[in-house]
Structure 1
Amino acid sequence: MKKTYHGSCHCKAVTFEADFDLAGGTGKCNCTFCWKQRMWKTAPIGPDDFRLLSGHASLADYGEAGDWGEQHHRFCKTCGIATHNEGDMPMLGGKFVMVHVAALDDLDVQDLLAAPVRCADGLHNAWEKTPDEVRHL
């Protein structure tokens, strides 16, 4: 069942709310970007299910684009905490947002632990495959 969650960066300059169903799963990836951030995110949600409440001017962007589409990693310029990423990628169904679960302020840990986790082998550009080793993700 879809629920509204609230989140923020560490210094609270960036705040948001997002509607999603944890039963839809979460994701981790072994690409160098996700690995270095220890990124754990929600499954893709529609842009209309994400609302930035404050801090637009506080958000920095690390973007990347290619034949696969584009993606923008958003983080607070003040405290450096990543809150979400957004983009437009055909393999994810078009425009999307993924919320970083660590940025959620009202997420019950037991609900997170019960949610399915999908791991992707981004390191080898084999996004549809699960890496051989995922314990470190």
Structure 2
Amino acid sequence: MVDPLKMHAGQCHCGAVRFEAALHDGFSSVRRCTCSMCRMRGAVMVMTAPGGVTVLQGADMLTSYRFNTKVAEHFFCARCGVYTHHQRRSDQTSYAVNVACLEGVSPFDFAEMPVNDGVNHPNDTGKPQRMAGTLRFIAED
């Protein structure tokens, strides 16, 4: 059974797509990534529990994109273009969710976040996941 305290409501920018995300460890898995897709979209992501995304409305408005190995599937609203979530390449049973789509959450809520080395993915290198660095947000007073 999913802990209801870890359920988070989310939606795209225009509201056509609405979903719930079950986060397996709250926001402790928040991160960015250096792969070509993540670099271009610049999203801050958080990992879900297995099967952790439930689309409540607008499944017909979601479009998807796969690239390179065609394993990870990235979902976007066909109307507003916002990336909502993706099925992870490293664990096909779980998803990563765009934190900016979650109700009451902003990417700027996180002072520091790890950045995965997505260019050298473990499925390609056979080595453990490597961190590329840490992204820091320092608010102006």
Indicate whether the TM-score tops 0.5: yes
Matches of residues 1-137 of structure 1 in structure 2 within 5 Å?
Answer: 2-20=5-23, 21-47=25-51, 49-64=52-67, 66=69, 70-87=71-88, 89=89, 91-92=90-91, 94-107=92-105, 112-113=109-110, 117-125=113-121, 128-131=129-132, 133-135=133-135
User: Which structure 2 residue ranges, 5 or more long, are not aligned?
Assistant: 123-127, 137-141
What is the identity, as a one-letter code, of the residue corresponding to 2:31? G
User: Which structure 1 residue ranges, 5 or more long, are not aligned?
Assistant: none
Q: CA RMSD in A?
A: 2.9
- The count of aligned residue pairs is 128
Secondary structure, in 3 states, of the residue corresponding to 2:66? strand
* Residues 32 and 86 of structure 1: CA distance in aligned 2, closer, same or farther (over 3 Å): same
Maintained 8 Å contact 2:99/2:107: no
**1:28-74 deviation digits (Å, cap 9, x = unpaired):** 11111101100211124211x321000111001002363xx711100
Aligned structure 1 segments of 4 or more residues deviating by more than 3 angstroms? 124-127, 133-136
Q: % of aligned pairs identical?
A: 25
TM-score by length of 2: 0.75
Mean CA deviation greater in 120-129 or 31-40: 120-129
What is the identity, as a one-letter code, of the residue corresponding to 1:130? M
* Residues 54 and 22 of structure 1: CA distance in aligned 2, closer, same or farther (over 3 Å): same
